[in-house]
A and B are shown apart, each in its own frame.
Chain A
């Protein structure tokens, strides 16, 4: 009896194992069937029907018929569907990043209008042409070597399909730690970097660099020799900006402070308060100091005079264009709209909007309370200050944090403009040092304070798992990483900018002659007036104005 029981148990066990093996084999066969062989039972609308009736209700367009089939003999397979899904994700990210880049490129128009509106009419052509040519000069410098230095070792970037050819970073080992310094792939975008993902990344990064170069033209307006501007801009776009860009965004040593020194997630700068705006503002300070103030800005006792701009309409229109373009700047910095937490673009856009709004509001109130009138140009600068300050934290903070950051930026820009006018006596015609430099640094610091740890872009940032948290949310190490970033901006980037522009001053000469400055730079530097009807102003200062009735200087003049 006992023997029979055991035999039955043995039989059942053998049957169980057999069934299991059969089930596993069937499952494997089913997976193989759907992956490699045709998918049956799925058919799209008849194309003859569409040809005959059209598709006004959008019910027959965008169906299984539109999925690319690799092998027409096999028909549609699961592999075809999976490949199409992957390509759709990357296509969404490409289109998103490119459109964001186009918006940022349009910000050049905003900068041109703001700066030109804030300077005197006699220099309008000169200022407009500086803003116009930063695009060409900066782009060329960045194409030749800037992009390679900045992003040549940044791969992989999952949202753009990997950008795998950008895989060579120069690093040195010091004190037992790797210090990544610059990229080495992508010079002239040739060779393996002739790659669709790399091209999208280049366009997006290029327009950011262009923003940096255009910041300097504002602070140096009305006295900067045009040839010096050209040489200075090329150096900024080719070397200075890309170096800091690499350290922060290209896998460089600042971004690795978290992995190497345990400082939060390393230096975090979501869209460039530091990389773009502080680098531009700090370079502006270096050049403006060397140029010295405009004639008439300070009295003999050192007290400053206000030199009003000539067109507030241009200024405020430019501010609106910039605020519009900023929706490309910040949300576009996800480098995608699909996957890896990119749907946070909605939150980033709202943060951007809020900080700009509270910045302009705070600046308006400050000026109204202090001087009795709501100042239009400072309201505009307040808007820009809020936008600059939220640029680094926009991807890491909540709406309350964004509002506070913008509010502080609005006050800070007013205080900073007064400070630079009264204490160091650095003449900054458009307030770019305060808007971009000071508030860029404030934005970098704000990440270390307000980042709430709720963002999750693919599970990690700068190689450290989890969301970025600032001091107020429990991570003091993140604040230290941001302080190291600020110290690098003030210590290294200022020094590099100063030395480069010192060289330019030595070999080219930075400042126009006093005669040209008094006459306005349009005729002496550019050979044509922006507003020919104003030519009598130039004649008041003894500058030859014969043959300029058309607004164009003849060779004789």
Chain B
């Protein structure tokens, strides 16, 4: 699960850089970069943090 989370976080960056290579439109690059940032944040809070919350010390 943790490894999957890290891959999702990295995938966000790959999306952003992919936007640079696939289009020269400034607006399109900005939108793709925002999508990439969103994916990375999901990886951090939605996958990795969820994993740790499920095992949190205060739930025991």
Contact = CB atoms under 8 A, between A and B. Distances in A.
B36 to A, nearest CB: 5
Interface string B23-36: 01011011001101
Given A484-B20, A487-B33, A494 B58 contact: no
Contact of A425 (B6, B10, B53): B53
Interface residues of A, number: 38
B18 to A, nearest CB: 10
Contacts of A261: 20
Contact of A295 (B11, B26, B57): B57
A285 B45 CA distance: 10
Nearest to A261: B20
Contacts of A263: 20, 26, 29
Given A293-B58, A298-B58, A502 B33 contact: no
Contacts of A480: 26, 29-30, 33
A293 B60 CA distance: 13
A293 to B, nearest CB: 6
A487 B37 contact: yes
A490 B12 contact: yes
Contacts of B20: 257, 261, 263, 484
B40 A491 contact: yes
Given A292-B56, A484-B17, A476 B9 contact: no
Interface in A413-428: 423-426
A24 interface: no
A240 B57 CA distance: 29
A476 B12 contact: no
A257 B30 CA distance: 14
A266 to B, nearest CB: 12
Nearest to A298: B58
A425 B51 CA distance: 12
Contacts, number: 98
B27 to A, nearest CB: 8
Nearest to A517: B57
For this complex, into which size category does the number of interface residues on chain B fall? 20 to 34
Q: Is the interface of B mostly helix, strand, loop or mixed?
A: helix
Contacts of A299: 58
Given A297-B58, A480-B29, A483-B34, A292 B9 contact: no
A426 B10 CA distance: 21
B10 A262 contact: no
Nearest to B50: A424
A316 interface: no
A495 B10 contact: yes
A292 B57 CA distance: 7
A499 interface: yes
B4 interface: no
A267 B44 CA distance: 23
Contacts of A502: 2
Given A285-B44, A479-B30, A498-B6, A491 B13 contact: yes
Interface string A278-292: 000000010001101
A484 B33 contact: yes
A302 interface: yes
A175 B14 CA distance: 14
A302 B44 contact: no
A290 B2 CA distance: 10
Given A486-B37, A495-B10, A293 B29 contact: no
A483 B24 CA distance: 15
B6 A491 contact: no
Interface of A: 175, 257, 261-263, 285, 289-290, 292-293, 295, 297-300, 302, 423-426, 476-477, 479-480, 483-484, 486-488, 490-492, 494-495, 498-499, 502, 514
28 contacts: A261-B20, A263-B20, A263-B29, A289-B52, A290-B52, A292-B57, A293-B56, A297-B58, A298-B58, A300-B58, A300-B59, A479-B30, A480-B26, A480-B30, A483-B16, A483-B34, A484-B33, A487-B16, A487-B33, A487-B37, A490-B9, A490-B13, A490-B41, A491-B10, A491-B40, A498-B9, A498-B48, A514-B57
Q: A-B pairs with the 8 shortest C-beta distances? A: A491-B13, A487-B16, A483-B33, A298-B58, A490-B40, A491-B40, A491-B12, A487-B36
